[in-house]
Amino acid sequence: MSDAGGRTERRARVIVASNRAAAGVYEDTTGPLIRDWFETRGWTVSVDVVPDGEPVGMALRTAVAEGVDTVVTTGGTGASPTDRTPEQTRSVLDFEIAGLGEEIRRRGAAHTPLALLSRGTAGVAGSTLVVNLPGSTGGVRDGLAVLGEVLDHLIDQIHGGDHARTD
């Protein structure tokens, strides 16, 4: 499948927001989970592990400038003092797609009420889709299930492709 610009390769960036993983205190497991999910779909994927806060924003801006099709962040969406991924994300978005974050929380809440504490968002920056996922493997699986249902259609729309009506 090619987009309106004729490209067929899809590129994703995974940004792991974690002070501890960035410092080497523990090995992140969510980044590889997301990377594998994209790779099984034929995407080219890179993973960045950065501390919470402004480094997330810098990594997002870099990915958008490079024209990556999709950025999925993991971590930094909760209510702790260092969780700032949604704020960093909103600072680069042109517009939000509220329904994605809402559905990710709804699906997660079917497994644990703690999913409702996620402040993750999603939206478009330039021609890049950005989606925040929680920092837990369960939250990532819930989020990828939602993303998998809409990703191809959404990327086609973002890149200016026409799309068939489903009604």
Quick one: pLDDT band at residue 4, thresholds 50, 70, 90? very low
Boundaries of every domain in the chain: 11-156
CATH of 11-156, one of 3.20.20.220, 3.40.980.10, 1.10.630.10, 1.10.3720.10: 3.40.980.10
The per-residue pLDDT for range 65-116, each reduced to its tens digit, is 999 999 999 999 999 999 999 999 999 999 999 999 999 999 999 999 999 9
State how far the Cα of 135 lies from the Cα of 3, in Å rounded to an integer: 31
State how far the Cα of 55 lies from the Cα of 62, in Å rounded to an integer: 11
The per-residue pLDDT for range 39-52, each reduced to its tens digit, is 999 999 999 999 99
The per-residue pLDDT for range 150-159, each reduced to its tens digit, is 999 999 999 9
